[in-house]
């Protein structure tokens, strides 16, 4: 029987979210940040290996829509990204200690449930593992098997830190949507090429009526 997963998704306070997209998105920046998180969480909840999605956020503007999708919302202690992730993971273990626990970035608007399932199936083979971002600098996913200490090292050059911490790097073919996080307009165009989720697509259609422009 496949290991089931609880996935923790951290969502920043929206006023601080996606600052590098501000010039391209203008008044739509907050709306875009919510949409991207909604598409990420929707894909998580549609993944057959995921038992629950736990969103950690201090922003009610994000908590409402994400909770409506079916995520469990946990307050962010506002002590940094990795503390937020550990808070969500502790909640997950209290609810279901037999599940594997993973952290997934909230800015994966092209995320495909089937590709996430490929990652989770591979991650279940290792005590701790991670998926690098599309630039091979950061990390989009970090996970541990049931009972293994959850020690995320997100932020900046987190790929190197996860490797140094002994996590197995998962270099899988065909999981581009899991690696394509969005911080810049170029990232967003790359995600558009993969195929955006419906929430993000609706915002992008207002931003860029002609995607080729």
pLDDT for 213 beyond 60: no
17 or 51, higher pLDDT:
51
pLDDT for 104 beyond 70: yes
- Note the helical H segments in 5-108: 22-25, 29-46, 60-69, 81-95
DSSP 172: -
Structural domain contains residue 80: yes
Q: Count H helices and E strands in the chain, helices first.
A: 9, 7
Structural domain contains residue 31: yes
Domain total in the chain: 1
CATH number at residue 81: 3.90.550.10
**What integer is the mean pLDDT of 120-134?**
98
**pTM of the complete model:** 0.92
Instruction: Convert the pLDDT of each residue in 63-78 to its tens digit.
Output: 999 999 999 999 999 9
- Please indicate if the annotation marks 30 as binding a ligand: no
DSSP 4: P
- Please indicate if the annotation marks 6 as binding a ligand: no
Pair type for strands 100-104 and 139-144: antiparallel
The SS3 of residue 144 is: strand
Structural domain contains residue 63: yes
Please, which pLDDT band fits residue 26 given cuts at 50, 70 and 90? low
Please, which pLDDT band fits residue 25 given cuts at 50, 70 and 90? low
pLDDT for 22 beyond 80: no
Structural domain contains residue 110: yes
Counting every residue written for the chain, the total comes to 213
Q: What is the pLDDT of residue 36?
A: 94
Instruction: Convert the pLDDT of each residue in 154-180 to its tens digit.
Output: 999 999 999 999 999 999 999 999 999
Angle at Cα 196 formed by Cα 194 and Cα 199, nearest 5°?
Answer: 175
Structural domain contains residue 160: yes
Structural domain contains residue 209: no
- Please indicate if the annotation marks 139 as binding a ligand: yes
Q: What is the pLDDT of residue 18?
A: 55
Print the domain residue range for 141.
5-204
Q: What percent of the chain has pLDDT over 70?
A: 90
Structural domain contains residue 210: no
Distance CA 81, CA 58 (A): 12
Beta bridge pairs of residue 132? 139
Structural domain contains residue 9: yes
């Amino acid at each position: 029987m496949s290991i089931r997963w609880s996935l923790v998704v951290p969502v920043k306070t929206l006023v601080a979210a996606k600052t590098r997209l501000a010039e391209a998105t203008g008044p739509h920046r907050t709306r875009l940040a919510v949409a991207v998180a909604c598409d990420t969480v929707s894909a998580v909840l549609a993944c057959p290996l995921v038992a629950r999605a736990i969103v950690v956020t201090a922003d009610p503007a994000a908590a409402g829509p994400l909770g409506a999708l079916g995520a469990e919302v946990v307050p962010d202690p506002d002590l940094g990204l990795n503390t937020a992730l550990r808070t969500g993971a502790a909640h997950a273990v209290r609810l279901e200690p037999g599940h594997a626990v993973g952290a997934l970035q909230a800015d994966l608007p092209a995320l495909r449930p089937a590709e996430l399932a490929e990652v989770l199936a591979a991650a279940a083979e290792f005590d701790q593992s991670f998926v690098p971002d599309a630039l091979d600098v950061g990390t989009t996913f970090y996970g541990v098997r049931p009972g293994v200490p959850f020690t995320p090292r997100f932020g900046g050059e987190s790929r190197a830190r996860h490797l140094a911490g002994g996590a197995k790097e998962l270099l899988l073919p065909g999981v581009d949507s899991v690696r394509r996080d969005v911080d810049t307009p170029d990232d967003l165009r790359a995600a558009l090429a993969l195929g955006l989720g419906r929430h993000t697509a609706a915002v992008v259609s207002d931003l860029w009526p002609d995607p080729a422009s």
